[in-house]
Every structure is written in structure tokens, then in C-alpha cells.
Structure 1
């Protein structure tokens, strides 16, 4: 005989469940309000470099006028000729070049530095020319590619590499039968596929990025920076890894990437993050490959590789941590070890039966739907007893074992009836039919008697 005891949720449990459901949306809300909004709502020039082909006195006078109009917005560099000023733009030593003249001053820009950047520079220097009673002539030195009119297509390709890389980590947590090595191999393979798809679409389908092998390489390095680091965080942050990964690789990386708003137009905080986070470095690498002839790739390459190295180190340390835990459990005499439950992003979680460690449930972890204890007639625990859950048609949903205390726990079932069978070597199996519900956890204990003719097998 077997019986189930439904546990009624207390007010504290309801609050706990509610908090578990809303913490990740709260991270997104905070990120959008505290990261995206401050970064994008009012782009302002910050020390934009402009080469000026004029005498030092004229350059100083122009600097003073700009500081009055836009304090701290522009940093002028005096050069000897218009040709040298144009060369500064082509070599990425300056965002724009200016050659003053009495009636038709010349401004040279680079749309590849960002459409928003070029627009602001043109507006400011047009105003300067008009105040002097002159008409500004503008010349485009570095236009964007034909398929990238607004200069933002590479950003969306970078997003198309970043998001699948993160979500692959989240969904792979369901592959509990995979080894750590298989997980990593899947992340590398998935990243290669995502990078290749983005490269072929952007380079050959849209002509938005260069048809250069280095472009493919940097897209792949971005996927690995995100996926390996996110996967490495799982061992240390557990159920909170989605919040950390989303914050690092989306909430902070997107506004600081310079993909939609040029870096020199962002607040100080995001300009500081730009050379540190993966997306900004991947954006710089694509731009350098496309417009600067493969120059200035040292920093983007080093930073992306550093993130990959960090992710690899976290994975190795997580593996060492896992081995140490197994050693501690072995020394404590634990048997019937139950694997650690999958750590998931609630936004991509799919119901699937999975065994949980039969212990106190911590905030952020999956709550058990079914718990219980298997014991003998005298109340002694039966470690290593098998617990099999099937649907009414006999299809196996879950197979696990009890721990050293004879306890088990599981979750991920759909609402409905299921058959739970407990068995152990030398003991008579016991089965019971339960109505499982995501709303009400059940506790099902079993008592297993030996095969010797005695009383009927009981469980409570």
C-alpha cells in the first residue's frame, strides 16, 4: 500500500516561488532602465578627435569655440595640410578632418565610424561655418558598405552570434546525460555553425561585412567568448548564471559595443566597458578588417581570446570542484548519488522529468514536485533503492535511486496521473498511482519488505 501527502504552501513559500519567477525579468527591467536608457537616450560627443589643417593659432581659436558650444566634445589636432588631415581620417587617427577657408571650409568624414557620429560632427561644424558666414563643404572619405547604409548591420550580426551562444548554454543544461566534454564540444560546434551562418548572410547575402576569413574568425571568437564563459559560470553561480550572463553579454555589452551609437557618443561608464567586453571588441575587429586593412587588430584579438581563456579556466575549475564534492560524499559514505539538477534559464525552461538531490531546496533552484523516503519495516533507510515513474500507458518518465538516507526527489513532470514504483534488491517492489501537479508538491514514502513470506508490502 502507498499513500501520498499533499503539502499546502505557506505564505512564505508562495513569496519564495513568486520571487523565483520574477528575479530574471527584474534583471532585464533593471538592465533596460539602468543600461540601455542612459546609454542611448542622449548621445553626446566626448573628446571626438578632429584633425585641423590650420595654423596653431587658428586651431586654438576653433577649439575654444567648440568648447563653448559643446564642452569636452571635441579634441582638435593641428596638422600642416589638408592631405595630412585626410590621411588621419583614413588611418583612423581622427574621426573627421577640417580645413578652414574664408568662404568654403572643407570637412572630411568617415561614415564607417557610425552614422550618428558623422551626423553630429557635420551639424556642429556646419554651425561653426555658418557663424563665420561661410558654407561648409562635406566630403565622405570612408563610406559604409553597400549593404550597410545605416552602419548598424554588423551590430545585428554580432547579436545573432551572441544570443544563440548564450541560449545554447541554457538549453544544454537539459542534456544531463552529456559529459562536460560533450557539452563543451556542442558549444564549440554550435558557435561555429552560428558564426558561419552570420558570416555567409552578412558577407554574401547582404554585403554588410567583408568577405574576409578574419571576419568569420572574429564572429566565431565572439560566440566562444559568450558560450564558454557562460558555461563556466554555471558551476559557481548555479541557478543565477542566467542573470550574470545576461548582464555581462547583453545588458552591458550591447550599449557599450558601439554598434548602434558610436563609442565616443556614449557616457563614460560605457566607453570604459567598450574595450573590455567581447561584443565591443568583435565590433572593432570587423570594422578594422573592413575599413583599415587588417590593422589595429591586436587589442580585439587579445581581449576575445582572454574571455575564451577565462571561460576555459572556469570550466576546468568547475570540474575540479565537482570532483572534490564527489570525494567528500564518498568519504561520508553516500551511495546512490543523484546528479546535480540542470541549471536553467527560466525563459527557455521546458518541462522534463529530472531527478533532484533530496535536500533542502535553495532559492533559484527547481522546486521538487515529488519527494519521499524508502525504508524497511523497522524504519531503516534503504539507500540505492530504485524509483521509477511512468505515465498511465507505461512509458518511463524517470528512473533514479535513493541517497544514503533512502530519500529521493524529482521534478519536471506534466500535470496528470503517474505510476511510481519503488524497488530494491532482495525486497518486494511497491507501486502507487499519484496525481502530480506543478501547484502542489507530493511526498510519497515507501516501505519495502524482504521477499521472505511475511506481511504485505506497505508504504506510507
Structure 2
């Protein structure tokens, strides 16, 4: 055969389109990660100011007028109130002005929410104190574990759970066809996904907690979070595969890996990310799960309702779409026999990539 004929037979039009899709995902990956992480700058970091007399309001105004708007400062009545809001993750730091009228201030920080943000805050307030001819000491009220460098362990744990979720769903599709033949088959896949989520959630929590000692806090809480995260990502992937076939795997990677990971607040917490990634992060599984993991580890499990609802919404939506698409497939194939052994369950035969 001529080379042109060999090429035509070896690389089908469908394969060529999938390769172009792969290239698009690669370029989006580069754009998303480099765009989100190449130049982190603090912006509108929530900070409280506790000061005697009317000094709090004056100092708050000065902090809010810093070039580039790195801080979103507001006055608070007492150190106790500030500590409570910090532990509830409503604010990120607190400046305690010397109550004796001296020039020795204190900045309360919480490195458990991310070391990069803590370092940025310390740098900002060191410069502010220097300009005002004051000194500032730093006190960490929710420190990251000594085995959790820069507070990244929670993020990497979540990344592992997410990878397991979409890989398990992809394997189920590759082994038996992207689209389930009926709702019963779809239910079986979802059940297998749930079982995998329970097991992988537990093992991830055990490794990050008791085995490596990277994350303190409740191992049972992390287990529950892991199971929900893995199932949410897996159900989303199953739904996308049911709708778009094998292309759905790429779309799941687009949502979870390309969009979700750099915006999750892992390497750099949300206030240090550019506006687009800061906006989408809390609405995607990696960002929601990373927030909950850090709250479990360092903030007594506070302020997790919203992120858990986000993860639950992804799980419910993925489940509903998977079952709905399977019901539609069954209706379109009414009267046809299932393929023996379930080797393939797609509506149309799978075409080899090459």
C-alpha cells in the first residue's frame, strides 16, 4: 500500500479529532496553571484590626488604601472576637495594636490555611510597621503541622482523591463502553463507584493521618470528605461519558484538573490567585474539598457547610445525569438485545483510535 493509504487507515478522522482535542487540553492546562500560579499577589485578604480608642478605624482605612489593595481590613472590638472569627475562617489574620500605647504590635496568623499567604501577610505588615516606626511580632494561632510543609498536604490529598475518582470512572467506561445500556447497568456503575469512593477515601485519610502524620484532625472526618469527593468526581465523569462518549473523559479532566486544581487554593490560597481562578475555585470539587480538609485539620471543622453542599451538588447532579442518559439510551434501543457479557454498552460501536 502507498504511504498515503497506510496513513489513512492508521489514523482515522475520529482519531485525528481526538488528537486535536488532546492538544487543546494540553494548551488549556498550560494556560490555566501558568496563568493562576505564575505571579501570586495578595488581594483583599480579610484582616481584622483590634486597637484601643478610635485607632482601629483610622488604621483600617490606612490598610485598605495600600497600593494594589492587598488587604480588606475591618475593625473588631476584641482579640477574643478576632480569634473566634479566624478559627471560623471568616478572616485570615488580625492586627493587635499595642494596648498600652507603645509601638509593639502583634499579628495573629493561621498558617494552617496556607504558608504562602501567611508569609505574604507577614511581609506586608513588616513593611507597614517599618514605615510607621513600629514593630510587629507574629503569633500563629492555627499552625500547620510540622509534617505538613506549607500546608500543602490537604491539597495533595484532595488531588489524589480526584484523580482516583475520574480514573475509576474512565476504567469502567473503557472496559464496558462509555454509555451504559440501561439504568440498571448505570446503577451498577454508580454502586461500584460508591464502593470505590468509600475504600479510597478511607485509605487516603489513613495515609495522610496516622501513617505519615501529615494532617492532624479527625481521620473519620477526612474519610467522609474523601468518600464524598471521590464519588462526586467519579459521578461527574460517568455523566460526561454518558453524554459525550469517550470525549467525556477529556471534559472531566478539563473541569477537575485544568479548571479545578490551580484554582483550589492549594499552592496559593484564594486571596493570592487572579480573579478568574479565585472565583471558580470554591465552586469546583478540588477547591471545595481542599477548604474542608484544611478546616478539619486545623480549624476544628468550622465553616464547611457551603463546600460540602458544593461537593454534594456535584455528586447528585452526576448521579442524576448518569441515570437519565442511561434511560434515554435504553429507550432508543428498545427491542434490541444487550451485547453478551457487557463487553460494550455504547449506543454506537466503538471505533478504534488508530
Give the TM-score category using the shorter length: 0.7 to 0.9
Q: Separation in 2 of the partners of 1:295 and 1:325?
A: 48
Residue 187 (str. 1) matches residue 193 (str. 2): yes
Which deviates the most, 12-21 or 141-150? 12-21
Query: Where in structure 2 are the equivalents of 1:16-415 lying within 5 Å?
Result: 16=13, 19-54=16-51, 58-101=55-98, 102-176=102-176, 179-209=185-215, 210-327=217-334, 330=335, 357=349, 366-367=351-352
* Superposed CA offset, 1:94-121 (max 9, x none): 2111123443221111101210110000
Q: Separation in 2 of the partners of 1:298 and 1:41?
A: 31
User: Greater relative contact order (Cα 8 A, min sep 6): structure 1 or 2?
Assistant: 2
Q: Which has the higher helix share?
A: 2
Correspondence for 1:457: none
- 1:175 partner SS: helix
Q: Separation in 2 of the partners of 1:190 and 1:41?
A: 35
Q: Separation in 1 of the partners of 2:344 and 2:292?
A: 39
Contact 1:51/1:94, CA 8 A, preserved across alignment = yes
Q: Separation in 2 of the partners of 1:107 and 1:307?
A: 38
Contact 1:282/1:300, CA 8 A, preserved across alignment = yes
Residues 31 and 104 of structure 1, relative CA distance in 2, 3 Å threshold:
same
Q: Separation in 1 of the partners of 2:115 and 2:7?
A: 56
Contact 2:229/2:311, CA 8 A, preserved across alignment = yes
* Superposed CA offset, 1:67-123 (max 9, x none): 453332211111233444334323323211112344322111110121011000000
* Superposed CA offset, 1:359-418 (max 9, x none): xxxxxx6248xxxxxxxxxxxxxxxxxxxxxxxxxxxxxxxxxxxxxxxxxxxxxxxxxx
What is the Cα deviation at residue 171 of structure 1? 1.5
What 5-or-longer segments of structure 1 have no aligned partner? 1-6, 344-354, 358-364, 369-437, 439-460
TM-score (norm 1): 0.67
Contact 1:51/1:85, CA 8 A, preserved across alignment = yes
Q: Which has the higher strand share?
A: 1
Q: Separation in 1 of the partners of 2:25 and 2:130?
A: 45
Contact 2:162/2:233, CA 8 A, preserved across alignment = yes
Contact 1:204/1:211, CA 8 A, preserved across alignment = no
- 1:23 partner SS: helix
Q: Separation in 1 of the partners of 2:105 and 2:337?
A: 82
Q: Separation in 2 of the partners of 1:340 and 1:235?
A: 16
Q: Separation in 2 of the partners of 1:298 and 1:31?
A: 31
What is the Cα deviation at residue 218 of structure 1? 0.6
What is the Cα deviation at residue 55 of structure 1? 5.4
Residues 367 and 75 of structure 1, relative CA distance in 2, 3 Å threshold:
same
Contact 2:186/2:323, CA 8 A, preserved across alignment = no
Contact 1:56/1:78, CA 8 A, preserved across alignment = no
Contact 1:174/1:342, CA 8 A, preserved across alignment = no
Q: Separation in 2 of the partners of 1:289 and 1:314?
A: 31
- 1:69 partner SS: coil
From the CA coordinates, give the structure whose radius of gyration is larger. Answer: 1
Contact 1:96/1:108, CA 8 A, preserved across alignment = yes
Residues 89 and 176 of structure 1, relative CA distance in 2, 3 Å threshold:
closer
Residues 258 and 317 of structure 1, relative CA distance in 2, 3 Å threshold:
same
TM-score (norm 2): 0.86
Contact 2:263/2:281, CA 8 A, preserved across alignment = yes
Contact 2:86/2:93, CA 8 A, preserved across alignment = yes
Residues 62 and 172 of structure 1, relative CA distance in 2, 3 Å threshold:
same
Alignment root-mean-square deviation, CA: 3.0
